[in-house]
Structure formats: structure tokens, C-alpha cells
Amino acid sequence: MQPPRDHAVRGRHWKLVALVALVAIAFLLPVVPPVVSVVTGAPVPGVSLVYPLPYLLLAPICSIWDALTALSLTQHFAVLGVTFTLYVLWRVFRLRKPERRHGFLFTPLLELGWLAVFLVCLVGFYAVGILVPRPMARLHVADPDVLVVDFHSHTSMSHDGRKSFTAQRNRAWHHGAGFDVAYITDHDSIRAGVEAATRNPPLAGDGTLLFPGREVVYRGMHVVVLGTFDPRTRTSPTDPCGPWPVVIGTIPGNLNRVPAAECPGPDHGGGVSAIELLDAAPKGLDESDRSRARILHIADSLHVAVVADSDNHGWGSTAVGWSLMRIPGWRDMTPDSLNATIKETIRSRARDAVQVVALRRPRKAPDDVWAAVPPVFMPQRFISRLSRAERLSWLVWIAVAFWLGEMVSRRRRRASG
């Protein structure tokens, strides 16, 4: 009986050594700022993330879901592929052990059962992260004159919006993520945005504001329009260059068809006043990674702003990108005045109107194969993005898991004599 006991003691020693190593790594590895400029990739002074206490208590699960939400569609396929490969390697390794071998017929049936459990757990983990509300990391900007805006979001009024995602839940989501203003741009509908605007607080600094807009196909490209004006109705031959709304080209889309201005003037009449540099939907992140340089070139050529938009339809609890605008005194403005000032600032300042920031995320590039690998499989990259408080939460959960594992092992040893 002594050799098995010695083996168990050595196993516990190795676990303790691993735990001490994790503690050392957690507190010696420098913290990398989690929010960076999308244009330069560098940290932005005065911009940080704030984590509420419920988030920190659930940091291991919340930080993994945040990391997954910041992946593009291609990277999600890589996540699934790597995870499945590791599962297969694990099962093959276990089957090679003599004590794990079963009958010719029983083994395939057992493996099919394990495969079903694995797939249910994998799909369930994704589904919970998408469907279940949870604490959110909130963007904090030190400069009180900087406004945090989302120009592209949806509600249940969109055909692909979550049925329970009302305008007020849209407001709560944006408030939790640190947005001061959000435009509801449902597909070809302004109803939710107009109704939500009637519930805005008297002053802009008193809470998260919602303004109306719409998403439509205009001149062959998906665009979001700020306000209630429909650009497709401008057909009067007697006034081809009349009042024009702020139109933002969205991604993914055909960048060869970005509407350029048809009429001279600062309002970009007939064209876009901005283009998305980052769209937080998985397909949009793919386009942002693939075409970032081209989007910036188009914005420079047309002399228009670049923005980051959530494109949120009510799924998930992670904000990936934010649009920052410096508007002195915006907190004391009325909602209507601020709405007009936002549009005028985009028109007049163009490329200097908005600073685009986002979560630090693995960017897919032709020469960066590892960018598509799940952060959980690259410990150094993943841990470096965690705050000290998040790392402490991880260590507490790991210690609890270690203690529970030891309790189970002791009971099994006692039961076996």
C-alpha cells in the first residue's frame, strides 16, 4: 500500500508547485493595457476599463467570454478547430492505456457518448455566453469632455434582433459598457429609436442617451443613417443637394461601393460622412482585420471620419470597440443639442472627429498564425491582459478547485482502504 500513497504525495507536491508558479506568474507578469487605439495599436492615455465587483467575483468565466467575443469569425473557427483537436488527442492518449481498453464494440459506443458530451458542453458554453446576461467591463475616460458613442445598434424591431432586446435593454447594455450615447439603427425602422429618445434624461450627463437612426441599403452598400431622414427618398430633381443626414458606411461590405459625395459642401451630400473601421460583429471584425489599411485610405480620400460600432443585436455582454469624441461641455447640453453637435462635429472635423478604441485582441494577419489561436491556449498573452484584481480572482478559484480536488482524492483513498 505504501507505493500508491507515495505516488499520491508526490502528485500533491507537484500540484502545490504548480499553484505557487501560477501565483508568481500572476503577480510578476506586467499588466498590458486592455484598451488600445484601433489605428495605431498603442494604449490611449486616460482610457481604461473598470470592473464591477460581480465581474471580479466571476472573473475566470467573464474574462474567457470577453476574449471569445473579441474574436473574428475566422478566429472562432480556429477556436473550435483547436479545441476539437485537443479533445481528440486527449481521448487517444487515454485509450492507449491498457486499463482503459474495452471490447471491440463497446469502445466506439463509449467514445460516441463522450463526443456527444463534449459537443454539448462546447455549444452550451458558447450559448450561455451569448444568451445569459452577466456583469460587463465598463470603459472609463478620464477627460470629462470626451463623449463615448456607439453609432450602430439594434433592438427587437430588427428582424435579426433578439426578441427580448427592447430599447430600454439596449440602453442598459450601453450603460454597462460605458457608452454615453447610442444610436438605435434598426433595419429600415426608426420606431424604437424615436420612442427611446422620449425617455432620455433632461441633461446629457445624467445618463446614457439613445437617439434614432436606421440601417438601410443605399447605393448598393449597407449604411446607418443618424436621424429620421431616409436617404433613399432624396429624388427631387429640383433640389438634388438639399439637406443631407450623417450617413455611415458599415462593414463587412463592398468597399468599392462606398457612397462618395454627389454634391459640394461640408455635409457630404449624397455620400457618407464616416465609415466603420471596426464593427464588433464577428464578420465585421474579420473585415476590420483584413481591410484596415484600405478603410483608412478610403476615409482619407473622401475626407470622412472613421468610427467603431457595436452592431449589437442583443447577443452577448461584451463591448469590443468604442468611438470617442471630444465635445467640451457636452454633459450640460440637452439631448437634442448634443445630438445636433455630434452630427456637426462629424461633418466639420471629419477624420479628426472620432478616436476609435477597442479591446486589445489577436489581430488576424497573413503572417501571424498564432493570432487565431484561442487566448486560453496562450497563457502569457491571456494573463498579460488581465488586471491584478482579475488575476487574484483566478487564483482564488484555482485554489478552491485544488482544495476540492484534494478532498475528493482523500475520500477515494479512504474508501479504497
Q: What percent of the chain has pLDDT over 70?
A: 86
> Coil, strand, or helix at residue 15?
helix
Question: How far is the CA of 87 from the CAs of 113, 119, 124, 251, 328, in angstroms?
Answer: 13, 10, 16, 35, 54
Which of 261, 227, 259, 262 has its CA nearest to residue 246? Answer: 227
Closest by CA to 278, choosing from 287, 270, 266, 269, is 287
* Poorest-pLDDT segment among 10-14, 25-29, 93-97, 305-309: 10-14
- Which one, of 345, 373, 357, lies nearest residue 319 by Cα? 357
Q: What is the mean pLDDT of residues 48-77?
A: 92
pLDDT band at 365 (very low <50, low <70, confident <90, very high): very low
Listed residue (349, 355, 179, 356) closest to 273, CA to CA:
349
Do the Cβ atoms of 373 and 362 come closer than 8 Å? yes
Higher pLDDT, 282 or 10: 282
Contact 121, 83 (CB under 8 A): no
All 3 cell numbers of residue 368? 501571424
Give the model's pLDDT for residue 63: 93
Spell out the alpha helix ranges (H) of 29-105: 53-57, 59-69, 73-95
Tens digit of pLDDT for each residue in 369-407? 455 554 545 667 788 888 989 998 988 898 888 888 878
Residue 339 has pLDDT above 80, yes or no: yes
Residue 269 confidence (pLDDT) above 90: no
Among residues 227, 220, 160, 219, the alpha carbon closest in space to that of 187 is found at 160
Which residues pair with residue 187 across a beta bridge? 215
Question: For 105-114, what is each residue's pLDDT tens digit?
Answer: 557 788 888 8
Binned at pLDDT 50, 70 and 90, residue 367 comes out as very low
pTM of the model: 0.87
In terms of Cα–Cα distance, which of 131, 130, 172 is closest to 153? Answer: 172
CB-based contact 324:357 (threshold 8 Å): yes
194-209: pLDDT as tens digits: 999 999 999 999 999 9
pLDDT tens for each residue of 270-291: 899 999 999 999 999 999 999 9
Can you tell me the distance from the alpha carbon of 129 to that of 125, in angstroms, rounded to the nearest whole number? Answer: 6
| Size of the chain, expressed as the number of residues it contains | 417
Residue 359 near residue 66 (C-beta atoms within 8 A): yes
174 and 134 in contact (C-beta within 8 Å)? no
Around 383, how many Cα atoms within 13 Å sit in the side-chain half-sphere?
18
- Residue 1's pLDDT band, with cuts at 50, 70 and 90, is very low
51 pLDDT higher than 60: yes
Max mean pLDDT range (7-11, 146-150, 286-290, 397-401): 146-150
Mention every residue, 6+ apart, whose C-beta is less than 8 A from residue 96. Answer: none
Under a CB-based contact definition with an 8 Å cutoff, are residues 181 and 209 in contact? yes
